Structure 1
Amino acid sequence: MTFFKSISLAFTCILLSLANGGISQSGLAAKKYLNLPLGAIKPSGWLHDQVCYDLMVQTNGLWGHEHDFYDYVAQTDWLGGDSFYSDLEEAGSYWFNAMVPNAVLVDSAELQSQTHYFLDFVLENQDESGWLGPEVFDASKPRYLWARYPYLFGAIQMMEYNATLVDSVVPKLYKFVTLANTMLKNGEGLEEWTQTRWEDFVISLQWLYDFHPNGNEDLLIETMKLLKYTGDPWEDKRRQYFPTSPVENLQNPFNLPLTWHGVNMAEGLKALPSTYRFTHNQVSEGWDLLFQYHGRPSGIYAADEYLAGLGAVRGGSYLYQVSGESKYADRVERITYNALPATLTGNMWSRQYLQEQNQIAAQNMTPDPFPLDGPYSNVFGLEPNYPCCTVNHGQGFPKFITNSFVKTADNASIVQVYLGPLTVRTVLAGRNAVSASVDTLYPFSDTLTTRVSADHPFTYYVRIPRWVSGATVALNGGKAEGVQASESGLHAIELPAGNSTFTLNLPLEITIESRPNNSVAVHRGPLNYAFDIPRTQTILTQAAAEPRAVDLQFEASAAWQYAIDPSTLEFHETPPASGTLPSPVFDTGLPPFSMSVTACPIAWPEAGDIFASSPPENVICTGGKTQITLWPLGATKLRISEFPVFDSTKNGISRDH
């Protein structure tokens, strides 16, 4: 499993809760917000447009072509018995879960045909016991439940998009649930991955409970309880046990070592939010601990295989829907616009396994600083280190989009959770058909113009991120008024029946984040800024079946050892002349935002051959002052984003910040 998968899973908004409490004997409690079905929300503008797009770059890149050539998901291999079983055991399920929303959002008949084939193939090969997909051909390998869970997510999304599938799919899902219930009672289907990722099945069961209970409520809740009590007890990861530093040299107090595995911790982030509906426990403490001790300026937390502490070399929609706390949405937005694109080449044909906040090379690593990953982990390629990210990385942008709007629990209002160019169509209570279109270059612009059509008056809520101060909104060309966000971070806009337009202005300031070793990170709004190290590129390998799928080595071609004076930071905006962004926007020199800052060269040793050591704390300039440019982190592939600091008025002496 992977740090990059932890990005994807965290970015799909499946987040943490650590608490304690008993099981409720009643039914499921309601969530704070209701999600919208797949297809109700679509990307627009720079997220989708044919000229300046991002989701289409992903679709035209490696992600959209894996089915054509990549062994783990290529349809030609599905009939190969053992080969297909291994695909469904992890790779095929991952790909299916992520490709379903991608195919719908880009309106691709070809991709939708691929996912429909996969849906049908698995269901047609369900055996009499209820086991999904072809049976295990290796008699020595028992049935394990977990790898079917991503398949359930994909099937649910397909039914949300196409309700005609419900009558044929739901009964087969219940057949699998009945089998799983029996297996859990018998202590079967369990291994470390199943025991740490049980919450995925709980979420799927809750979807059945909410929309298609079919008289099976007792079966569903009993199975949820069995999953909780046969799985890892995430609620026991309280403060006295929570690791506050890299864990590879710590003794894990739990029987399951994979609980400190980076991706499983991302899974654990959704454990108690998923059980909250029948335990009514609090849902926040673990989230705060994770990012306090392992967080990164890019928004993600650090893990190669296991939690990695705060060293710069290491690399929440579901929880938001349960709790309504805006800090989860803020974090997801930061991950999406920083960490996710930073781990992909601009054309999205190559991806990393591990990324670093301070990354001075992307090549075979000697010595290897990652305790549990191989020396090929930070090469950009088809499947560096492990193939699981190759078949899983595409879910980030699609699931960000499909969770960007929700409805209030009374179905009377819509809430815009994430900011960006998006459209939504839904029907609220009282047969109130509502549509909204957000026109913006955000996060590369501070202004969002939203056009709304509604059959009846209603309240439109929009999240105001915590990094915004002095926001204003102007309705239907009227005077701009100050935004009054509630404690939940939402601003309410009362809209009449018919057509309305409001313009939201979100002034953003440069902010400085203190990091370890007296270093700093630079932000403006959701974007983390970094020095984009000039680089040379070498093609290491090329896939025989697809020449665009290459493994790339990047090496620094210029100095990167700089300290900066944060007091000299200046923001620069270059609005695109055409009103559209370059494609792809997340590549060197292409974003319309940058910053300049006074810097000076310093002595900053490497750790081994290709890693920067921790930022030096007491620096003295080794040369004259200069100006360097900082770019949004997502556009950089080699970078420095946690900087030593100096006082440019005192000839290069370290400064406090």
Structure 2
Amino acid sequence: MARFVLLLTVSGLFSQALSQTGLAPKQYLSLPLGSIRPTGWLFDQLMVQTNGLAGHEHEFYDYVSETDWMGGPSYYSSLEEGTAIVLLFNAMVPNGILANNSAIIERTQEFLDYVLDHQDSTGWMGPEVNTTKPRYLWGRYPFMFGAIQMVEYNPDLTDRVVDALYKFVNLANQMLHNNGEGIEPWTQTRWEDFVMTLQWLYDFHPNGNEALLIDTMEQLKYTGVPWEEVFEAQYFPTTATDDLPNPLGYVLSWHGVNMAEGLKALPATYRFTHNQSDLDRASEGWDLLFQYHGRPSGIYAADEYLAGLEAARGTELCLVVASIVVVDCLSQAQTGSYLYQVIGDPKYVDRVERIAYNALPAELTGDFWSRQYLQQQNQIAAKNMTPPYSNVFGLEPNYPCCTVNHPQGWPKFITNAFVTTADQSSLAQVYLGPFQTQTTLTTENPVTVTVNTIYPFSDLLNTTITAAKAFTYYVRIPSWVVNGTISINGGEAAAVSPNNGLQAVPVEAGTTTFTLNLPAEITTESRPHGSIAVHRGPLHYAFDIPRTSKVLIQNAEQPDAKDLEFDATAAWEYAIDPSTLKFVNNPPASGTLPSPVYDSGLPPLSMTVTACPINWPVAGSTFASAPPTNPACTGAQKTITLTPYGATKLRIGEFPVFTAK
């Protein structure tokens, strides 16, 4: 309690200083929802998602069924029940708009109308019908993010949504000043979600409420987990946290999804403290997280809590989604993209791209009807291990949060693919892939950009820009590119020369075209026990283990929703000789990738490598033991094929090594 009182006192001092300085600007600004659209294979991937579980779960899934869709807000205080509905709402707003799905758009509008029509006279969101549950703040934050996206897409909603948000902000401010009312452990870790909503109001709709907004930001920070301490090196866990006491006492701060929350808390804090130390600690925390818990698939290990580097430890699907945008199972914000927009370091978007093109598709079946709860780098089976029920692919393995939350991954990756500079005079593409965007820069300069590519399944990107006036366009050159070139308007190819990860392209009034060739070398990453992981460009490569499929459960209302158990049908116990790795590119003759591209044998890229069978024990019947160090071959050498990790469901992604003869 002493710390709580002290922090509130300190926050009051901040309020006096910050009322004069306001919010620090971002390095880059996001574009409104709908300004950026996927094309080519990425649009197809979005349609696969929309035609799968994401677009149909409201029809039959208990937590978000049609009967609860309108009644859901009455459960808002329950993280298990009502929050599922607002999580799905926040995911399906961008999904519906980007997929041009009128039914989804109509449904999300109905939900928005319902919540706003039933806002309590005190400002509380949710009618609280027949419930005595306490008022916890966090369950409203996902709804706010969804509502903001709808305002971006349809400005006619602005007054209604902004008025409702301010009613809630006034109430929340009173609650926070009343001894932190509305704060419980989950809210303590996820206060930054509300801060980001408050900053949206401050940036676009301050309406004379600047002091209220900043004071509420401070109250949230100083009644919540101090992330600047959690990410301090002396307190940060360097191994799996199973048996570690948390030195700061904030047990939930080591929860994997909350870690993603904490990373965006620091740049959010910087905007109202103006302290460079907040940005420095965010960068340090990012590096510590991936140094001690990172995965070759781009994500980090957290089978609930941080899990170290071992290949058999899992990563929650919600965390994968969380780190892309970053959003998570129980929070809806944009960490990797947000960090980049505030700080401007390309390391954030480099990693987000790896996560999106590797870890995200690996945790769902190709048709997006079944999902895992936990994904492993080395996964030799996906079986019912009850308890826990985490590794099968299904409707609701373990917890429902990822069922309703996973649809955010692709849409929010897409909506953050382009940004403008802070003065809005230039446009930058930060995620590479097939996109089209339309926006108007300053000085009334309408711009359209079309990127024609099958990246990351090709090194080539062809971009066409039309603009009314000249400006400088920027495109990210990933850190893994070697000997990349750019050819502008059909001219001679020249070496790329990025500055802080961005290649400047001069654009004249009219039409400008350029071609990027972004080749990469095969690289290997050192992993525990002398094992290695294999990469080329943004893609991580793994051995796709042939498998059988067994239906464990089939939903009575929707037969496409199945729980599936996978088991290996071929040997997976191999060591590889990394010196024999060879890249194989079989581009589609039609120029069009198969649908869905993230399924076994469908990506056009692969690698071959010399391997030999080894003794590699299992742990129980489900997990591969740690890769054996310096193993002896137990049979003849052979050539095996590695394919993009995202298309595998059973896999070896971290290999023991040997030297071929």
Say yes or no: does 1:552 pair with 2:564: yes
- For 2:599 and 2:646, the matched residues in 1 are separated by 8
Q: Give the alignment partner of residue 271 of structure 1, picking from 252, 258, 265.
A: 265
- Residue type of the alignment partner of 1:246: A
Say yes or no: does 1:76 pair with 2:67: yes
Three-state SS of the structure 2 residue aligned to 1:126 is coil
Say yes or no: does 1:218 pair with 2:211: yes
- Cα deviation for residue 618 of structure 1 reads 2.0
Aligned to 2:355: 335
Q: Give the alignment partner of residue 102 of structure 2, picking from 92, 109, 124.
A: 109
Q: Give the alignment partner of residue 100 of structure 1, picking from 93, 99, 112.
A: 93
- For 2:644 and 2:337, the matched residues in 1 are separated by 24
The 1:528–1:81 alpha-carbon spacing in structure 2 relative to 1, beyond 3 Å, is: closer
The 1:515–1:136 alpha-carbon spacing in structure 2 relative to 1, beyond 3 Å, is: farther
- For 1:595 and 1:308, the matched residues in 2 are separated by 29
The 1:639–1:257 alpha-carbon spacing in structure 2 relative to 1, beyond 3 Å, is: same
- Residue type of the alignment partner of 1:143: R
Q: Deviations over 1:613-640 (max 9, x none)?
A: 0000120000000010000000000000
- Cα deviation for residue 79 of structure 1 reads 5.0
- Cα deviation for residue 145 of structure 1 reads 0.4
Aligned to 1:58: 49
Q: Deviations over 1:476-512 (max 9, x none)?
A: 11111111011x1111000100011100110111110
CA contact (8 A) 2:58 2:69 kept: no
CA contact (8 A) 2:28 2:342 kept: yes
Count of paired positions:
616
Aligned to 1:10: none
Describe how 1:299-338 pairs up with structure 2 within 5 A. Answer: 299-315=298-314, 316-338=336-358
Q: Give the alignment partner of residue 118 of structure 1, picking from 111, 114, 118.
A: 111
- For 1:638 and 1:249, the matched residues in 2 are separated by 29
CA contact (8 A) 1:270 1:318 kept: yes
CA contact (8 A) 1:474 1:504 kept: yes
Q: Deviations over 1:302-361 (max 9, x none)?
A: 001100000001221000000110000000000000000000000000000000000000
- Residue type of the alignment partner of 1:167: D
Q: Give the alignment partner of residue 136 of structure 2, picking from 134, 141, 144.
A: 144
CA contact (8 A) 1:360 1:555 kept: yes
- Cα deviation for residue 256 of structure 1 reads 2.4
Deviates more, 1:409-418 or 1:76-85: 76-85
% same residue: 67
Aligned to 1:34: 29
Three-state SS of the structure 2 residue aligned to 1:58 is helix
- Cα deviation for residue 254 of structure 1 reads 2.2
Aligned to 2:508: 496
Three-state SS of the structure 2 residue aligned to 1:120 is helix
Say yes or no: does 1:623 pair with 2:632: no
Aligned to 1:451: 464
CA contact (8 A) 2:435 2:451 kept: yes
Q: Which has the higher contact order (CA 8 A, sep 6+)?
A: 1
TM-score when scaled to structure 2?
Answer: 0.92
Three-state SS of the structure 1 residue aligned to 2:113 is helix
Structure with more of its chain in helix, by fraction: 2
- For 1:485 and 1:452, the matched residues in 2 are separated by 19
Say yes or no: does 1:421 pair with 2:453: no
CA contact (8 A) 1:475 1:502 kept: yes
- Cα deviation for residue 609 of structure 1 reads 1.2
- For 2:119 and 2:27, the matched residues in 1 are separated by 36
- For 1:482 and 1:248, the matched residues in 2 are separated by 48
- For 1:415 and 1:600, the matched residues in 2 are separated by 46
Aligned to 1:461: 474
- Residue type of the alignment partner of 2:143: Y
CA contact (8 A) 1:81 1:137 kept: no
Q: Deviations over 1:257-316 (max 9, x none)?
A: 111111111111111011111123323110010000000000001001100000001221
- For 2:37 and 2:72, the matched residues in 1 are separated by 37
Deviates more, 1:278-287 or 1:546-555: 278-287
Gaps of 5+ in 1: 1-20, 367-373, 650-657
Q: Deviations over 1:434-459 (max 9, x none)?
A: 01000000000000000000000000
- For 1:247 and 1:160, the matched residues in 2 are separated by 40
- For 1:495 and 1:335, the matched residues in 2 are separated by 31
- Cα deviation for residue 248 of structure 1 reads 1.2
CA contact (8 A) 2:63 2:81 kept: no
- For 1:78 and 1:335, the matched residues in 2 are separated by 31
Gaps of 5+ in 2: 1-12, 315-335
CA contact (8 A) 2:74 2:127 kept: no
- Residue type of the alignment partner of 1:163: P
Aligned to 2:286: 287
CA contact (8 A) 1:124 1:133 kept: no
Aligned to 2:319: none
Aligned to 2:525: 513
- For 1:47 and 1:520, the matched residues in 2 are separated by 30
Say yes or no: does 1:407 pair with 2:406: no
Aligned to 2:444: 431
Say yes or no: does 1:253 pair with 2:266: no
- For 2:567 and 2:342, the matched residues in 1 are separated by 44
Aligned to 2:157: 165
CA contact (8 A) 1:537 1:553 kept: yes
Displaced runs of 4 or more, over 6 A: none
Q: Deviations over 1:561-601 (max 9, x none)?
A: 00000000011111101110000000000000000000000
- For 1:170 and 1:22, the matched residues in 2 are separated by 26
CA contact (8 A) 1:425 1:436 kept: yes
- For 1:386 and 1:365, the matched residues in 2 are separated by 14
Supply the RMSD in Å over aligned alpha carbons: 1.4
CA contact (8 A) 2:73 2:128 kept: no
Aligned to 2:383: 363
- Cα deviation for residue 77 of structure 1 reads 2.0
CA contact (8 A) 1:199 1:270 kept: yes
- For 2:515 and 2:589, the matched residues in 1 are separated by 21
Say yes or no: does 1:194 pair with 2:210: no
CA contact (8 A) 2:70 2:114 kept: no
Say yes or no: does 1:229 pair with 2:222: yes
- For 2:383 and 2:532, the matched residues in 1 are separated by 26
Aligned to 2:8: none
Aligned to 1:588: 600
Three-state SS of the structure 2 residue aligned to 1:390 is helix
CA contact (8 A) 1:232 1:259 kept: yes
CA contact (8 A) 1:55 1:106 kept: yes
- Cα deviation for residue 82 of structure 1 reads 8.6
Q: Deviations over 1:59-86 (max 9, x none)?
A: 0000110111112122322455797545
The 1:392–1:448 alpha-carbon spacing in structure 2 relative to 1, beyond 3 Å, is: same
